[in-house]
A and B are shown apart, each in its own frame.
Chain A
Amino acid sequence: MSANNQSIFQKDLMQEAIKQSFVKLNPKIMFRNPVMFTVEIGTAVMFFVCAWILAGEQSQGSFAYNFTVFIVLFLTLLFANFAEAIAEARGKAQADSLRKTREETPARLENGQVISSAKLKKGDVFVCEAGEIIASDGEIIEGLATIDESAITGESAPVIREAGGDKSSVTGGTKVLSDKIKVQVTTEQGESFLDKMIALVEGASRQKTPNEIALTILLAGFTLVFIIVTVTLKPFADFSKTPITIAAFISLFVCLIPTTIGGLLSAIGIAGMDRALRANVITKSGKAVETAGDIDVLLLDKTGTITIGNRKATKFYPFDIDEKEFIKAAVLSSMADETPEGKSIIELAGVNPASYQIQNPTFIKFTAETRCSGVDFDGNRIRKGASDAIKGIAERAGNVYPKGVQECVKVISSNGGTPLVVAKNEKVIGVIELQDIIKTGISERFERLRKMGIKTVMVTGDNPLTAKFIAEKAGVDDYIAEAKPEDKMNYIKKEQSEGRLVAMMGDGTNDAPALAQADVGVAMNSGTQAAKEAGNMVDLDNDPTKLIEVVEIGKQLLMTRGTLTTFSIANDIAKYFAIIPALFIVAIPALQGLNIMHLHSPESAILSAVIFNAIIIPMLIPLALKGVEYKPIGASALLRRNLLIYGLGGIIIPFVGIKLIDVVVAMFI
């Protein structure tokens, strides 16, 4: 998707964000963020101090100095607001680009009347034919169609959707390529998942997540400590006969409170949802993204996640026959076979069946009784099927079932494959091996998950033996074989009762209870409405591996909060050493010994500290939006790494930064 490549600061987004930065100065909005709210109060006080000086007050230092402090504090507020605004703007732009296609599409109702999609109500039924855009999210109630979902998923290969079953859902904005379907609208306009997501990003319905609340408490606590520190400093200074200006008090306070994380906190949360959206996952709440970071157990469907679609033919084993002849028999028997297995045989052979130019073929369909399929032509009878079915055919005709074939079948089975035996005119001529193809790189991903401390569980309808083989080969930790929907549910409940958080992905209606039970349930967009309602995320790409990405997005979100909090608090050390000597040096010159950065003058020290405090916010916006990179290296190693970068960095950077700013500021004082 093109949006994935857009830079963080796009021009149109910037304009909107800058406008919003001012709008958000409204104290009512500001109040949601206690840290920045106190900065706003400080800024207001500085405004009055400036006015007071203009009115002739002498004790507070020069107007220029006070005014500069005021301006810097004002910028601090704007920067913090800008961080939130740019995150919102980006999220909104992303969501808008998804929404754009679905607005103002004409919808043709059953009775032939054409209305705007905006007027569709839940329960309405409309018709869509080849070449038309589907007007609204809904469920196919009649017909089958190939649909181009590239507008939503970016995936150009068309998909088939049909009434009934688990692939009946269509998304507004996608295009019907062939056939005709009747669609029933499943959501009121303005209440689709996308609409909900946009509302979440825009802030109107954005609620603080539990973790965000806990962090806000921590930050509010830090703010309170420094209110106490600053206010009590006044009588202390009076006792020591050390006059301190209001500007110095406010600067000390603003520098000490965690403005960096306070200013970036909501941007981090929005960016988390935005990252999910960029991965084409719609989250129904910010909490879901956070929970994803805590997941302990991942339930993954074998098909599509661990293996590529269905089984594929991987090898031909001819017996007492020329390989070309065998392949010809295999291909002919699969000509009419529409199953993925059948197609894969032709694919493996690499021959166009039409090139054999056989006359009047009669195709024998697979039935549960014969358990084989095949073709009759020119007096030849070719059959392919399960080994005991073909064995029966051969033995009934008086032919021996070769020992080699028997062995071959055994070997294939024990390797997790499925053998298909081929007979020509009741004589066994060879075996086709079908194998589950494990996705390349999937075992590395499981290894990565293991290092994150996440247990992976494969869910499959295969028998336990095959399941075990594939589980081992792919490197999952556990498997549920011959799984029925209730098995998933029970497994989830069992893990949850032991205190673990479980995530799963599903699409069918029978997945809905398990999706609702799971702590993070990702429904595929192609899935049924019931499944989508039950889960707390919807994956537009229908990609089962998406769960892994979602977990990483959740972890990134929490990590970004943690590291920036650490950075912000660690900054205090340097700020103390900049401001404290500046406060007292005039009255107690001996305290020059504390001025370890050798800052130019008390005024320049205070200005440098507040300037550093202000500009660090925009400098960290890209990090807040992109998120801190997650590395699966184990919790202790990760903590060490982040402490080194953001903790130690948070101590050192402001020393350097404040000193550099002081050098510049000193030129103007």
Chain B
Amino acid sequence: MNSEILGVVLMFVLTLAIALPLGRYIGKVFNYQKTWLDTIFNPIDKLFFKLSGINESQQMNWKQHLVALISINAAWFLLSMIVLTNMAWLPLNPDNNPSMSGDLAFNTAISFICNTNLQHYSGESGMSYLGQLVLMLWQFLSAGTGIAIAAVVFVAMKERTTDKLGNFYSYFVRSCTRILFPIAVVVATVLVFNGMPMTFEGKDTVTTLQGETVQVSRGPVAAFTAIKHLGTNGGGFFGVNSAHPFENPSYFTNIVEMITQMLIPFALIFALGYVINRKKLSWMIFGVMTIGFTLLVVPTIISEMNGNPAITRMGVSQNLGSMEGKEIRFGSPASAYWSIATTVISTGSVNAMHDSFTPLSGMNQMLGMMINAFYGGCGVGMLNFYVFIILAVFISGLMVGRTPEFLGKKIEAKEMKIAMVIALLHPFLILVGTAIASYLYTHNPAEYAGWLSNPNNHGFSQMLYEITSSSANNGSGFEGLGDNTPFWNIACGIVMLLGRFLPIIGPVAIAGILANKKYTPESNGTLKTDTMTFGLMVFAVIAIVAALSFFPALALGPIAEYFLL
């Protein structure tokens, strides 16, 4: 096998191999079973709760969970707004970078709290080290929020008939201290030893071979990069993210970062099986997600390895594949694999410029975000998938002649309403957002000329990509878009907020309502949800609901571009 392909397969297999035991461990953390880290973290957790006056043993119902989640997120938002708009004079600013404008700070604060990490700024020139540290804190906390809320849904799925679903703060603190923090420390250490900077000193001055002096930005990059990937955040320390030689120095660090970002989304699938004691269900979910992922990643790798047909026609050799916007140390297959992994799991970090990928690869990246449920982000990916399961259970339950039920709970009008709203939300945000942008541009191309580097079908793709990335809380971009303008800052901010919190509220509400329902034991006539047939059904629902509704838009963007190339 081609060694570059082998590298890709290796990354996937290694991720799975680490995710299986990690999933079991996370399941134990959710179940409050003993783990070997307890001795270290039990006292720390207790201290947190004592200081904050939270009674961690108080049981919450689903509504109380959501109130807790939204209120701490609101507090973080205010705190980040204050820091981002005042960093110029606050400490830890050796490079004297300026404060952010109001709309950019709004966008950036939301972006990091929503686990999106869409960046309309460039870290080197637009952010102080204090700002970076605050953002890094959100990278922990937003991921912790996602994991904690996934724990609530898992517990709700396990319970027979109850509205007592554990304590949100407790799940949240445990997610941060027992899952994110230890792994991030290990990953950051590995990265530091492989050439990544970790310093609070300002820019370094280097004399090049030609004798010129160059200012080189640096900072606490390793710590930032570890949690950026572990928490599926994706916000780069530097503007070009993990394509930057300090943020991803070698093929080895590329593998480490790749595995780190897919680790928790994988592990949470198996944690679900552990918590509700249905390992087969986990494998069904993993199977469906992996099929979806494969269907996106394989054509992308092929397309990138084949190169750009327009360049081929010019008689230029492309034996390395399409290398525009890619780093030579990673090569096209690893870049293609990364581009799909980072879009399906909502990390949004990049090691190559998505704007420069061949059209169909760009489409697959967008599809990964439009579907947003193949693995998905930290915790929230499972929540998105849960909504599709509910829809699939409803249709297939009818097909076997019973009122649909999932894990012994009947799915009725109320749950359908919520599930449908959540399934609708994503197409709504993406299509309406892009429609407004298209409308503005079409009716006043002179005023918005700075938006698009390429106003044709590719320009349409750039706008579609930006909104999709915001709605999916992904954060990557087709960087040809001039996005630091009030419209994009505010529009993307709103889309990110809605795209983050509604898809959390919906599934938690469904799971909470179902947990409170009467439990029906399984019989021969009950639809089994851990079978391949049902998996196929879920896949079909995802393909038709999530993917096909974007067909017309994609036809005008990447598909048209593909046929025109």
Contact = CB atoms under 8 A, between A and B. Distances in A.
A235 to B, nearest CB: 4
A584 B555 contact: yes
A239 B402 CA distance: 47
A634 to B, nearest CB: 6
B112 interface: no
A569 B420 contact: no
B402 A555 contact: yes
A104 B555 CA distance: 68
A630 B401 contact: yes
B411 A636 contact: no
B435 A454 contact: no
Main secondary structure of the interface of B (DSSP, over half): helix
B121 interface: no
A218 B524 contact: no
Interface string A304-347: 00000000000000000000000000000000000000000000
A236 B560 CA distance: 13
A570 interface: yes
Contacts of A218: 391, 394-395, 416, 420
A454 B525 contact: yes
Given A229-B431, A238-B438, A240-B556, A558 B402 contact: yes
A225 interface: yes
A235 B424 contact: no
B555 A594 contact: yes
A229 B398 contact: no
A242 B531 CA distance: 45
B67 interface: no
Given A555-B401, A558-B398, A217 B413 contact: yes
A461 interface: no
Nearest to A224: B424
Interface string B368-403: 000000000000000000000001001111111111
Nearest to A651: B540
Contacts of A222: 545
Given A232-B431, A559-B400, A591 B555 contact: yes
Interface stretch (A128-136, A276-284, A572-580): A572-580
Given A225-B424, A239-B442, A576-B548, A636 B531 contact: yes
B259 to A, nearest CB: 35
A53 to B, nearest CB: 25
Contacts of A214: 394, 411-413, 416
A225 B401 contact: no
A21 interface: no
Contacts of A226: 549
A617 B439 CA distance: 37
Contact of B408 (A215, A499, A630, A642): A499
Given A214-B413, A559-B399, A566-B399, A225 B555 contact: no
B457 interface: yes
Given A214-B411, A572-B544, A643-B536, A562 B399 contact: yes
A588 B428 CA distance: 26
B545 A225 contact: yes
B435 A293 contact: no
A294 interface: yes
B559 A635 contact: no
Contacts of A242: 556
A39 to B, nearest CB: 19
Contact of B564 (A252, A499, A563, A588): A588
Contacts of B46: none
Interface in B529-565: 531, 533-534, 536-537, 540, 544-545, 548-549, 551-553, 555-556, 559-560, 563-564
A56 interface: no
Nearest to B464: A236
**Residue from the set A225, A581, A592 with the largest chain B CB neighbour count within 10 Å:** A225
B526 A580 contact: no
Contact of B560 (A232, A500, A562, A588): A588
A602 interface: no
B555 A580 contact: yes
A100 interface: no
Interface in B450-467: 457, 460
B439 A634 contact: no
Nearest to A230: B552
Nearest to A239: B438
Interface residues of B, number: 63
Contact of B416 (A217, A455, A570): A217
Nearest to B409: A499
A199 B436 CA distance: 50
B400 A635 contact: yes
B432 interface: yes
Interface residues of A, number: 77
A291 B281 CA distance: 27
A451 interface: yes
A378 interface: no
B523 interface: yes
A590 B401 contact: no
B520 interface: yes
A411 interface: no
A635 B399 CA distance: 9
A293 B403 contact: yes
B420 A643 contact: no
Contacts of B537: 639, 643, 647
Contact of A453 (B411, B438, B523, B556): B523
Contacts of A569: 395, 544
A590 B416 contact: no
Given A500-B521, A591-B563, A559 B398 contact: yes
Contact of B524 (A237, A452, A498): A452
B399 A642 contact: yes
B401 A556 contact: yes
Contact of A239 (B460, B521, B536): B460
B398 A562 contact: yes
B533 A640 contact: yes
A214 B564 CA distance: 44
A261 to B, nearest CB: 10
B441 interface: yes
A15 interface: no
B407 interface: no
Contacts of A450: 524
B518 to A, nearest CB: 5
A619 interface: no
B555 A213 contact: no
A234 B396 CA distance: 34
B278 interface: no
Contacts of B116: none
Contact of A236 (B394, B400, B417, B435): B435
Nearest to B519: A499
Contacts of A239: 438-439, 441-442, 460, 556
A465 interface: no
Interface string A592-608: 11100000000000000
B469 interface: no
B528 interface: yes
Interface string B421-444: 101100110011011101101100
A240 B401 contact: no
B398 A236 contact: no
Contacts of A228: 424, 427-428, 431-432, 549
Given A217-B417, A572-B544, A591-B559, A240 B402 contact: no
22 contacts: A211-B403, A215-B398, A217-B417, A221-B421, A236-B556, A239-B442, A450-B524, A561-B398, A572-B548, A584-B556, A588-B556, A590-B560, A590-B563, A591-B559, A593-B563, A630-B401, A636-B531, A639-B399, A639-B527, A639-B533, A639-B534, A642-B400
Given A563-B398, A635-B524, 5 more contacts: A213-B413, A228-B432, A499-B408, A559-B398, A588-B457
Give 4 nearest A-B pairs by CB, closest first.
A562-B398, A453-B525, A555-B401, A453-B524
